[in-house]
């Protein structure tokens, strides 16, 4: 049976001092009194404690800096998801008086962590090794937008499976039977889970999804335009479309209007995100809201607790999305 790893909290408890005092002793900060130094040194020897990166940095000026690592993709700074992540992390950093270093990665190069107190990984796409290295180094880190089970790391994800199912159930409840979908990038966990949830919801409603009613998109408006033109050219075209991002849903609506197809009278459209742009199109977009800002903000607060030694247990949660009903979907009329 593996021996339980000794933490800085264990040392503080034995020495009867604060975690900050332990860290200052470890980092040889001269302001600690001699009696406390002796207590901490005795506890370190007795418990055979080996400081990790967090403990070594706690008393230094570097711990007020966190890294935000985001996989790069085309149009990242035009992405509602990316902007909400940056906005949420930035908001929490400001309130906690933390500095943020933003790193866009392709997963190929290592991340310099010598000046960081901790890292937030915004999803894991081709940069799994970076997460594994951070965990192995003992650096406080947390993954968001990915429910990651096979690495011992904290995560805050979104229940995208539930979100996809919500969309299918809502359209089915309106009486639609010919329901098509435009997927997100199926190489991402979010894209795969949304599609899987949609298919499960359709199955629960006892509705078939013909293969021609599934268009593999990538969250971009370009892919949504191709999908919409394809669906609207069908003889037996769908009466409802679930576009698995709001950007794609808005493009579907734009194509519909260009082709003289009315939304929602001729086709109902539902998106995913709750992008503010969804309010200002020709019709208010019904969508599945994912709490991206809340996820990003909470990640900073949890990471700050990890860095300061106030949290040792891993946080593993998936936040629930919710249906936001507007005007782009109506009951099917034969």
What pLDDT score was predicted for residue 2?
Answer: 46
pLDDT of residue 146: 92
DSSP 138: T
Spatial neighbors of 265 by CB under 8 A, at least 6 apart, are 330
The owner of tokens 């192995």 is 136
pLDDT tens per residue across span 118-163 = 999 998 888 888 999 888 888 899 999 999 988 999 999 999 999 9
> Domain 160-290: which CATH class?
alpha beta
Establish whether domains 8-51 and 63-158+292-320 are of one fold: no
Quick one: pLDDT at residue 57? 56
- Third-level CATH fold of 8-51: 434 Repressor (Amino-terminal Domain) (1.10.260)
Domain positions in the chain: 8-51, 63-158+292-320, 160-290
User: Three-state SS across 193-240?
Assistant: HHHHHHHHHHHHCCCCCCHHHEECCCCCHHHHHHHHHHHHCCCCCCCE
Enter the CATH code of domain 63-158+292-320.
Answer: 3.40.50.2300
Ranges of residues in the chain whose predicted pLDDT is under 50? 1-2
Is the distance from CB of 193 to CB of 290 less than 8 angstroms?
Answer: no
> Residue 301: what pLDDT?
96
Tokens of 137: 């180094």
Three-state DSSP class for 271? strand
Query: Hey, what are 197's tokens?
Result: 């949830």
Q: In 3-state terms, what secondary structure has residue 316?
A: strand
Cα–Cα nearest to 108, from 157, 161, 77, 72: 72
Q: What pLDDT is recorded for position 50?
A: 77
End-to-end CA distance of the chain: give it in Å, rounded.
Answer: 66
């Amino acid at each position: 049976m593996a021996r339980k790893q000794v933490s800085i909290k264990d040392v503080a408890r034995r020495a009867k001092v604060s975690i900050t005092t332990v860290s200052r002793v470890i980092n040889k900060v001269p302001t600690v009194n001699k009696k406390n130094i002796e207590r901490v040194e005795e506890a370190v020897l007795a418990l055979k404690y080996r400081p990790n990166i967090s403990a070594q940095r706690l008393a230094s000026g570097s711990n007020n800096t966190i890294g935000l690592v985001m996989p790069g993709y085309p149009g990242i700074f035009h992405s509602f998801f990316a902007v909400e992540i940056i906005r949420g992390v930035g908001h929490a950093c400001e309130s906690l008086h933390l500095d943020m270093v933003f790193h866009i990665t392709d997963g190929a190069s290592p991340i310099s962590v010598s000046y960081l107190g901790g890292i937030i990984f915004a999803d894991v796409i081709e940069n799994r090794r970076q997460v594994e290295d951070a965990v192995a180094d003992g650096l406080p880190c947390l993954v968001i937008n990915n429910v990651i089970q096979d690495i011992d790391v904290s995560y805050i994800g979104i229940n995208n499976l539930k979100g996809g199912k919500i969309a299918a159930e809502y359209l089915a409840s309106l009486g639609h039977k010919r329901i098509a979908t435009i997927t997100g990038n199926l190489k991402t966990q979010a894209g795969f889970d949304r599609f899987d949830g949609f298919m499960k919801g359709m199955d629960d409603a006892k509705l078939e999804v013909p293969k021609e009613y599934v268009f593999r998109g990538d969250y971009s408006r370009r892919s949504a335009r191709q999908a919409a033109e394809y669906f609207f050219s069908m003889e037996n075209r769908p009466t409802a479309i679930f576009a698995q991002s709001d950007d794609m849903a808005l493009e579907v609506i734009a194509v519909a209007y260009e082709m003289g197809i009315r939304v929602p009278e001729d086709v109902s459209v539902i998106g995913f995100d709750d992008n503010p742009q969804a309010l200002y199109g020709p019709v208010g977009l019904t969508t599945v809201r994912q709490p991206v800002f809340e996820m990003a903000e909470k990640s900073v607060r949890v990471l700050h607790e990890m860095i300061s030694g106030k949290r040792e247990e891993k946080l593993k949660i998936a936040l629930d999305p919710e249906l936001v009903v507007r005007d782009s979907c109506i009951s099917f009329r034969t």
